[in-house]
Amino acid sequence: MTKTNRVRLSDRIFARFRENRARTPALAACLGAGLMIAGPWAALAETPQVGGTLRAAWVGGGAADKLDPTTWLTILELARISAVFDRLTKINENGKPELMLAQAMTPNADASVWTVKLRPGVKFHDGSPLTARDVLYSFKSAIGRGYFAATNFSMIDLQKSRMVDDLTIEFVLNAPNAEFDRVVSDASASIIKDGTTDFSTTAIGTGPYKIVNWVPGVRTELTRNEAYWGNPVALDKLDMIEIDDDNARINALLSGQIDLAVNVPPYFASQLEGAPGYSVAYGSGSTAPAFYMRQDKPPFDKAEVRQALRLAIDRKKCVEVALDGRGTVGNDLFGPSHPSYARDIPQREYDPEAARKLLDKAGIGELQVELVTAPVVGMLECATVFKESAKKAGIEISIRQISPADLYNTQSVYLQVPFGTTEWKGVSFQEMARTGLLQSSFANETANKNPAFDAAFAKAEAALDPAARNAQFAALQRSLWDDGGYIVWGIQTPVTAFSDRVGGYEGLAGAEVGFLPSGIGNLWIKH
Amino acid sequence: MSLKSIFGANTMSRFLLMRTVSGAGLVLVVCLATFVAVTLLPGDAANFVSGRSASPERLAEVRERLNLNDPVAERFFRWGLRAVQGDLGPALTSPRQVSEIIAPRLRNSLILASIAAALLVPLAVATGALAGALAGGSMDRGLSVISLVLLSMPEFFLGTLLAYWLGVKWHLFPPIALFDAAQGPWSNPAVLVLPCLTLVITNLGYPARIIRANVAEAMSGRVVLTARLNGIPERRIVWKYALRNCLAPGIQVISLTLLYLLGGIIVVENVFQFPGIGTLAVEATQQRDLNVVLGLVATITVIYALVMLLTDTLIILVTPKLRTLRF
């Protein structure tokens, strides 16, 4: 695949520049994975400058913002985690795990024990060295906190896992898992210092940036970690500013108050494309806005109803209207930018006739359902398109609009309503499954309680050969495609806008393959 | 023991006592209503502290830690008891104290409101007096149309327009008030311009029209006629006779405008992302941080009650008829 070749070349170039400690990844920048730039190409060809302050705006969570890498909720928190902390591995542009703090990760014959050799000489921001003790503590703490990590790392047997020497850890797993090197790339697997319990004022990691000042809900001021084990970042200072309002974020960019804005709503993109001095970068990714149907609640307990609704949505129109054409049509599955994505499954099309037939077969006839949604990333617009397109199939959808802040409110809406709205960012099928499709998953939005599915998933995870593993994952995706509870109508293109002074944004704005924004360390600014 | 024996026959102190008691009652009622309203909203702070990524057990733990499982009445009573002692308690969604969160935000909002008021009051009096003195003329008609347009313009609409034209298009002033709440707007005073301008423009119409009506009425009265017959210059008549006559309604309307400014500030702050009590109120409500919401409501209500008390006192002081009235 040409894309893979390009990325490999760029990786090589990056590696060479790291060796030389010359910060000129200009060619690599041009070759950034899956990135299209609407703006002056000249900026790309320039040599990165060392120094300066870059002010970037993110969407955050206000006063409830946290620095704890295991309890994150917002994209801002994820970005900050990737700036301050490192993990054992990261997901690279190909969607494959790449070593970070680990120098080697070796499984035993059946992948039930993984030996991790740490990179020597890595130091935390306070100068203390990274040891195996910190790594073991990080996982123990992540599991103990009871967030996503609790299920994501439940395969680790903490009792049996041990520190072999200062730089070697032996992870003993409850069941064989050939993807353990992918599992530990998760944000929650960020390596913290042994004994850390307090994240209320600052956070100490081994990442490319150090926290200078953190005001929850307002800003995070970061500075270069001179002792970084990789290539030190170019910026003297990175100011991560929290601007939740879309209009305000764009206004701040256009008036020069900030240099970069992430999460640009699709409808602002065309407006920004023509603005002199600014550019827009479109990434390719796996961010999927979706509707979920709970299989334990009528009428969605009938497979025919779920299939009928999936056929009754005009996906093309949804992408056109809700995402302003900036995205691709979804196929009711997650993670299209990852190797495990089942590409052979045919695209589900809008077919109201087939939907009507399915409902007749189930003896339902006219169907009335209520869809709960909120005005975020085109979900409300898509719901409106859905309502119209479903009429042809004899389905009457009434839309209940709630505040975006309530979308994941578990006391009123989330996991409560039979037909709701969700969004999954950048995750692969298997990551999504661990969090949302197994009986033990607490974000099991579709009430997918199927022991056979769980068993097949565990079997797939144990398959040592990546191709065989992905084939098994594909079979599971097929079963979900056949009668699961998700309507993944589109895959959103991440849009990042920035002033022409900003360089090295390709990794940040480009392919969104992992859950963590990558490339935050490559940013630089003309000054 | 009667009130009279405590405060004597002094009507003024009795009036002040009554207003203070009713003000305290008002604060209590408003806080109770807010408490009930926020608890009626679906979801609680635990959802926003832990949210989607937390296990049900973890959520239950957070809920327990924040005392969200206790009966509503008990929680309100506990809160009230602490609040009268000046302790607004800890925030639910962050490890800080409510007073610590509100204080810098309140200061920022008061700075914004004071500057707006300092511009608004003289401007309203001047335009009102001018239009009233020239009642019926083309100047009066022009001002009347302009003030009506301003009066009917919502803050968010004008704010958005100003942010776009003066901020984004012409780069004159920052369209977003990006500054650290703790440091205050003085670190970059330019951020105050657009929010102030929006507040002044949208709030100018009402007081200007009321003052104009009162001045116009006074100008056609006997006092002014006599003054004119005595050859007193017109400017002096307007300032000394007409305006003085509408002092009481003027104070009333200006205090109403100031109170309205407090409401308008919530909208304007959100348009410009100004870190004051307005943006805090929206954020805290969304996150169901009951303690912050209550702290804010209590603070705003106390300010309301104080402004009203001050207004009424001033009106009594400037109106001889009321000064001797028995309550």
Q: Which residues of A touch B272 (CB under 8 A)?
A: 248
Residue A250: closest C-alpha in chain B: B168
Is A254 an 8 Å CB contact of chain B? yes
Helix (H, G, I), strand (E, B) or coil at A421: strand
> What average pLDDT does the structure give for chain A?
86
Q: Which residues of B touch A148 (CB under 8 A)?
A: 53
Helix axes B290-318, B72-84, angle to 10 degrees: 50
The separation between the first and the last C-alpha atoms of chain A, rounded to the nearest angstrom, is 38
| Two tokens, residue A151 | 């299920």
Instruction: Report residue A504's pLDDT band, with 50, 70 and 90 as the boundaries.
Output: confident
Instruction: Report residue A3's pLDDT band, with 50, 70 and 90 as the boundaries.
Output: very low
**Lowest-confidence segment of A57-61, A401-405, A453-457, B319-323 by average pLDDT:** B319-323
The H or E element that residue A388 is part of is: helix A379-391
Q: Which residues of A touch B56 (CB under 8 A)?
A: 442
Residue A199: closest C-alpha in chain B: B95
**DSSP classification of residue A177:** -
Q: Which residues of A touch B39 (CB under 8 A)?
A: none
Going by C-alpha positions, the residue among A84, A374, A23 that lies closest to residue A209 is A84
- pLDDT, residue B257, reads 86
Instruction: Report residue A512's pLDDT band, with 50, 70 and 90 as the boundaries.
Output: low
Q: Which residues of A touch B184 (CB under 8 A)?
A: none
**Lowest-confidence segment of A201-205, A421-425, B66-70 by average pLDDT:** B66-70
Of B58, B94, B163, the CB nearest to A63: B94
For residues A21-35, average pLDDT: 35
Of A72, A255, A412, the CB nearest to B174: A255
- pLDDT, residue A148, reads 77
For residues B70-78, average pLDDT: 87
Instruction: Report residue A351's pLDDT band, with 50, 70 and 90 as the boundaries.
Output: very high
CB contact under 8 A, B175 and A408: no
**Lowest-confidence segment of A52-66, A134-148, A412-426, B115-129 by average pLDDT:** A52-66
pLDDT of residue A2 exceeding 60: no
pLDDT of residue A444 exceeding 90: yes
Size of interface A-B (CB pairs under 8 A): 115
**Lowest-confidence segment of A72-76, A209-213, B75-79, B308-312 by average pLDDT:** A72-76
Residue A272: closest C-alpha in chain B: B168
CB contact under 8 A, B42 and A410: no
pLDDT of residue B260 exceeding 90: no
Write down the residue that tokens 């909720």 correspond to. A73
Higher pLDDT residue, A64 or B209? B209
B238-247: string of b/e by CB count within 10 Å (b at 16+)? beebbbebbe
Pairwise CA distance, residues B205 & B163, whole Å: 21
Is A247 an 8 Å CB contact of chain B? yes
Instruction: Report residue B1's pLDDT band, with 50, 70 and 90 as the boundaries.
Output: very low
CB contact under 8 A, A251 and B176: yes
Instruction: Report residue A285's pLDDT band, with 50, 70 and 90 as the boundaries.
Output: confident
Q: Which residues of A touch B159 (CB under 8 A)?
A: none
Chain B nearest CA to A200, separation (Å): 7
Higher pLDDT residue, A235 or B317? A235
| Residues A466-477 pLDDT 10s | 999 999 999 999
Bridge partners (DSSP) of residue A58 are A242
Q: Which residues of A touch B96 (CB under 8 A)?
A: 63
| Helix extents (H) in chain B | 3-7, 11-40, 45-49, 56-65, 72-84, 98-133, 138-151, 155-162, 193-219, 222-229, 234-236, 243-245, 247-272, 277-286, 290-318, 320-323
CB contact under 8 A, A414 and B58: no
Pairwise CA distance, residues B273 & A249, whole Å: 10
Task: Give the count of beta carbons closer than 10 Å to the beta carbon of residue B185.
Answer: 22
**Are A446 and A292 in contact, with CB atoms under 8 Å apart?**
yes
Is A200 an 8 Å CB contact of chain B? yes
- pLDDT, residue A55, reads 95
C-alpha gyration radius of chain A: 23
Residue B287: closest C-alpha in chain A: A405
CB contact under 8 A, A442 and B56: yes
Higher pLDDT residue, A1 or A38? A38
| Residues A156-166 pLDDT 10s | 999 999 999 99
Q: Which residues of A touch B181 (CB under 8 A)?
A: 215, 218
Chain B nearest CA to A56, separation (Å): 12
- Model-level pTM greater than 0.90? no
Residue B305: alpha-carbon gap to chain centroid: 11
Chain B nearest CA to A469, separation (Å): 27
CB contact under 8 A, B101 and A63: yes
Provide the ipTM: 0.79
Instruction: Report residue A513's pLDDT band, with 50, 70 and 90 as the boundaries.
Output: low
| Residues A221-239 pLDDT 10s | 999 999 999 989 999 999 9
**Are A319 and A386 in contact, with CB atoms under 8 Å apart?**
no
What ranges make up the beta strands (E) of A343-469? 367-373, 395-401, 419-424
- pLDDT, residue A263, reads 84
Q: Give the residue from A151, A215, A219, A251 with the most B CB atoms within 10 Å of its CB, the best one to mutate.
A: A251
| Residues B179-197 pLDDT 10s | 888 888 998 899 999 999 9
Instruction: Report residue A411's pLDDT band, with 50, 70 and 90 as the boundaries.
Output: confident
> What average pLDDT does the structure give for chain B?
86
| Two tokens, residue A73 | 């909720």
| Residues A172-210 pLDDT 10s | 999 999 999 999 998 889 999 999 998 888 999 999 999
- pLDDT, residue A240, reads 94
**Lowest-confidence segment of A357-371, A450-464, B30-44 by average pLDDT:** B30-44
Q: Which residues of A touch B58 (CB under 8 A)?
A: 145-147, 150
- pLDDT, residue B2, reads 52
For residues B2-22, average pLDDT: 71
For residue A41, give Cα distances in angstroms to A26, A34, A278, A491, B180: 11, 16, 12, 26, 35
Residue A65: closest C-alpha in chain B: B94
CB contact under 8 A, B101 and A61: no
**Lowest-confidence segment of A36-40, A229-233, A247-251, B238-242 by average pLDDT:** A36-40
Instruction: Report residue B295's pLDDT band, with 50, 70 and 90 as the boundaries.
Output: very high
Chain A nearest CA to B117, separation (Å): 25
Bridge partners (DSSP) of residue A288 are A424
**CB within 8 Å of chain B, chain A residues 212-241:** 215-219, 241
Is A277 an 8 Å CB contact of chain B? no
**Are B66 and B22 in contact, with CB atoms under 8 Å apart?**
no
Of B42, B49, B61, the CB nearest to A412: B42
Q: Which residues contact A15 (CB under 8 A, 6 or more apart)?
A: none
Proportion of chain A above pLDDT 70, given as a percent: 89
Instruction: Report residue A21's pLDDT band, with 50, 70 and 90 as the boundaries.
Output: very low
Instruction: Report residue B59's pLDDT band, with 50, 70 and 90 as the boundaries.
Output: confident
SS (HEC) of A240-290: EEECCCHHHHHHHHHCCCCCEECCCCHHHHHHHHCCCCEEEEECCECEEEE
Of B96, B270, B275, the CB nearest to A218: B275
- pLDDT, residue A290, reads 95
Q: Which residues contact B14 (CB under 8 A, 6 or more apart)?
A: B3, B4, B7, B327
pLDDT of residue A12 exceeding 90: no
**Lowest-confidence segment of A213-227, A248-262, B44-58, B234-248 by average pLDDT:** B44-58
| Two tokens, residue A249 | 């974020």
Q: β-strands A288-293, A419-424: how paired? A: antiparallel
**Are A501 and A272 in contact, with CB atoms under 8 Å apart?**
no
Of A63, A255, A442, the CB nearest to B175: A255
Q: Which residues of B touch A68 (CB under 8 A)?
A: none
Q: Which residues of A touch B190 (CB under 8 A)?
A: none
Instruction: Report residue B324's pLDDT band, with 50, 70 and 90 as the boundaries.
Output: low
- pLDDT, residue A35, reads 47
For residues B143-170, average pLDDT: 89
| Residues B168-181 pLDDT 10s | 889 899 999 888 88
Q: Which residues of B touch A150 (CB under 8 A)?
A: 55, 58
Pairwise CA distance, residues A50 & A194, whole Å: 33
Q: Give the residue from B38, B48, B92, B176 with the most A CB atoms within 10 Å of its CB, the best one to mutate.
A: B176
- pLDDT, residue A244, reads 83
| Cis peptide bond N-terminal to A216, omega within 30 | no
CB contact under 8 A, B283 and A217: yes
Helix axes B138-151, B193-219, angle to 10 degrees: 140
pLDDT of residue B327 exceeding 90: no
Helix (H, G, I), strand (E, B) or coil at A372: strand
- pLDDT, residue A258, reads 94
Pairwise CA distance, residues A421 & B285, whole Å: 22
CB contact under 8 A, B176 and A243: yes
pLDDT of residue A268 exceeding 80: yes
